[in-house]
Amino acid sequence: MIAENSVKRMTPAIGAEVTGLDVNQLTASELSQLRRLWLQHKVLVIRNQKMSLNQLCDFSGYFGELMQLPYITPVDTHPKIICVQKKADEVNMGVFGGDWHSDFSFLKTPPAASILYAETIPPLGGDTLWANMSLALKNLPSHLLEWVENRNVIHTGAPYGIKNAPAADTQFTGSIEIQRNNPEADREMLHPAIVKHPDTGERSLFISPTYTTGIEGVEPDVGCSVLKELFEFCARPEFFCRLRWSANAVVIWDNRNTMHYAVNDYDGFERRMYRTTIAGQSPISGSA
Ligand code: SIN
């Protein structure tokens, strides 16, 4: 049983930390509570968990079917786990996940959730931020809402390819092997700009500066400037939480109504995490 006082919200906007649990020995009731809390808070943090990679897979499996990520070389022994690592000597370069995004939103069926387990963290820095995209939508000014109601937006993995490649000094070229210039990742995928959560029915924006490159049917220049304004709005601190990691913390987040951002401010120190990804379904339009 998860007691009410074991759940502490991280900010009024998003996220909660749960204490008093051993994720390797969860009861059926704790599991269903954990799932409910995850849907409610969108990001759940549980610290001080000693997990092997097998145990990480077992824990992740409670939240849905694990998927193997395309384009990223997984851990040798575990095809459904990736190692999110930046080594101490990997300096002056970008970091994996180092701008606002929802994981692999450019897929036809983007992931429902991701689970990240911290093995080695830098003494300072390397935090992760999550933004509540349902809250951003609720607060969206009407002149921006008009651009997203009943619209599709274009998602593409091209930032990891050549078409919209970010500046060389911000690209991640370190420990994670990412296949670049892959036509399947670089193709354009249309998703509703406003989606409805399949479990809660809550409406949310489904856009991000990493993967959303245009608005269907809108001139590219106009679409880009509207998206820029939307991204700036969504990344307001009122909508996000920031996690100071500790080794052995595990976090599960909902990719369908959040964006996240890995802060790249720890050059000279190692950060090593292991991530699983939970399969999702085609986004459902949340427009009226
Ligand atoms: C990711 O985007 O999955 C990486 C997040 C992180 O390293 O904090």
* CATH assignment of the domain containing 222: 3.60.130.10
Position 78 scores a pLDDT of 96
CA-wise closest residue to 112 among 68, 81, 66, 158: 66
Position 85 scores a pLDDT of 92
- Out of 273, 274, 276, 278, mutate this one to test ligand 1's pocket (max ligand atoms within 8 Å of CB): namely 273
Position 133 scores a pLDDT of 98
Position 81 scores a pLDDT of 96
| Residue nearest ligand 1's atom 8 by CA | 262
Amino acid at 93: M
Mean pLDDT split into 10-residue runs, the chain, 288 residues: 92 97 94 96 98 98 93 91 92 86 94 98 98 98 97 84 50 62 76 98 96 94 94 97 98 98 96 97 93
The single residue listed with the structure tokens 């040798």 is 76
| Residue nearest ligand 1's atom 5 by CA | 262
- Out of 71, 114, 259, mutate this one to test ligand 1's pocket (max ligand atoms within 8 Å of CB): namely 114
DSSP secondary-structure letter at 257?
Answer: S
- Domain residues for 39? 4-285
pTM as predicted: 0.94
Position 2 scores a pLDDT of 86
Strands 271-278 and 113-120: antiparallel
Position 76 scores a pLDDT of 92
Q: Where are the beta strands (DSSP E) in 145-244?
A: 152-155, 189-192, 194-196, 203-205, 212-215, 240-243
| Residue nearest ligand 1's atom 2 by CA | 97
On whether the CB atoms of residues 72 and 82 are closer than 8 A, the answer is yes
| Residue nearest ligand 1's atom 4 by CA | 97
Closest ligand 1 atom to residue 275 Cα is 3
Number of domains in the chain: 1
- Out of 86, 96, 259, mutate this one to test ligand 1's pocket (max ligand atoms within 8 Å of CB): namely 96
Position 183 scores a pLDDT of 67
Protein residues whose CB sits closer than 6 Å to any atom of ligand 1? 84, 96-97, 103, 114, 116, 128, 260, 262, 273, 275
